[in-house]
Structure 1
């Protein structure tokens, strides 16, 4: 049975959407990445920002086309890079390696972050050719990593 939304609920929802939360990050990249699955085409929307107090780079999944819940928390880029540093250069890995990055436990977090790391704005990983769901570090991973880390000191 469908639940009806009252006029008061709609007004409350509009008010909540327009309320400004305190700024915590300077947004450096606001972009989108193609989803990994051809069965669910569309994009994952994300932001890379510099935390205003710590100056650390953090990444946030902010939305996606179609279905698929995910956590919208800010996660440290340094944690993601540590995981990628542990991956052998030519050895494929699954999206599941990114599960520890998130406090939220949505099943889509790991694959969505993998899609973001594949996009041209970050380009830290790529597909293996054997499977669209397997990843490997890009051959220019170290240069891409350093370029991203320099963003924290610029702007």
Structure 2
């Protein structure tokens, strides 16, 4: 794992989902988290890459991603470069890895025959799933520096090369 450690303080994020997906190139598998803060603002971060590329492990707010998309003219495809400003001074892989996560979550899809172009999709399905998770007591906290166990990482159910799908997703509330 070649993670670029952030100097930015890590916000208090409740982890709602830990999953994995293929990178856009298909050369590696990314592990990522979807979480929310106390105000239920949704955010994403990549936590592992099976390939050799460096990446940034900072949380990125879904609202900031949407704002970056909104700046893109509707006539132009979404490309990873428009997410670069969300990772100031960090690895150039991070925007493409984030775009792969967004694809796995069904928030973008490939734009026809354009190899590197994507378009937004309706976020209603994603938002419904995440709202259910927000309304439960689930918190998939993973200790910093430790890999999540196989039981906590599930392949993304959406996306172009979704691995075998599990019938039990990470949304069950912990029992105390």
Give the alignment of 1:2-151 within 5 angstroms.
24-38=12-26, 41-51=27-37, 53-87=38-72, 91-119=76-104, 122-138=105-121, 141-144=122-125, 146-147=127-128, 150=131
| 1:70-108 per-position Cα deviation (integer Å, ceiling 9, x unaligned) | 100111111112223444566412111111122452110
Measure, in 2, the Cα distance between the counterparts of 1:144 and 1:84: 19
Measure, in 2, the Cα distance between the counterparts of 1:86 and 1:123: 20
- CA root-mean-square deviation: 2.7
| 1:116-154 per-position Cα deviation (integer Å, ceiling 9, x unaligned) | 0000xx21101113233211112xx24246436735852
- Work out which structure has the larger RCO, using CA pairs closer than 8 Å and 6 or more positions apart in sequence: 2
What TM-score do the two structures reach when normalised by structure 2? 0.61
Q: Which runs of 5+ in 2 are unaligned?
A: 1-9, 137-176
Give the number of aligned pairs: 127
Q: Which runs of 5+ in 1 are unaligned?
A: 1-21
Measure, in 2, the Cα distance between the counterparts of 1:56 and 1:68: 29
